[in-house]
Amino acid sequence: MNRKVLFFVVCVLVSYFGFSQRGVRIGYVDMEYILENVEEYREASEQLNAKAAKWKQEIELKQSTVEQMKKDLMAEKVLLTDELIAEREEEIQILEKEMLDYQQDRFGPQGDLVLQKQLLIQPIQDQVFNEVQKIGGNKRYDFIFDKSADVVMLYSEKRHDISDLVLREISRTRKVSKSNKKEKLNNRLKEFQEQEAEADKEISEALKERQEKSDAAKDAKKKAAEDRRAEALRLREERKKAYEERRQKLLEEREARRKAKLEERKKAQEQQKDSTNQK
């Protein structure tokens, strides 16, 4: 039992013995039950849950993209240079960090989900508090506490539950200013939606810009690789052409020497023949 609960129990006991002549009136409210039965909160909560599901899908899509990039890199690693491997790994790390940051922004302790839930709950909690103050004074309750809070309830009789009474009082109060409160809540939700849309737009533009830069860098690297390959082919062709020219020249020189030798041999044979005929 923590100090808060212990202090509460002590207060109840002291009050009980101090006011035992008239008895102690204790009531409690179930905040979760009240929230579930407030129409505006229920509708807004459903919208928020739909947003959360959309955010979760976006995160899963980003995670799937990162995992696929990792698999592709592992499959292509043997075909890539060290420089290209480092670039791909850096790109994966950037996308992974963006995914984790996005997850934190949406579902973290200070993320959009927590903040928007607080925004939805706060006005209703304020109304519950105000109605509890009125009911406590009018019905002469000594203690009214929240069943869903940190106080541990080992046993409670239903007759002490004033949640429905609080709901009726909230409903009665809301009939006077329901339209204003609903408009205020809708304005808050609209404001959050606009902020979310603006944030999504900024993220989309940043991702688009990063993708364009990445594509431009890839195109530049691809062009540079193609230029290097073309230059290598050109040099190879030039070397091949020079080799063929040298080879052809050597063949021509060899053929010329062979013909010269044959010519010399033919002349020698003719001279020898002439010499024999003269004799």
**pLDDT tens digits for range 165-180:** 778 877 777 665 555 6
Specify the pTM. 0.49
Per residue in 6-58, pLDDT tens? 345 545 544 554 544 456 777 878 888 888 888 877 888 888 889 899 999 99
Q: Which residues contact 91 (CB under 8 A, 6 or more apart)?
A: 69, 214
Q: What token pair was written down for 25?
A: 């009136």
User: Across-strand partners of 26?
Assistant: 143
Q: What token pair was written down for 111?
A: 């993320």
Tokens 């080879």, residue located: 247
Element (H, E) at 23: none
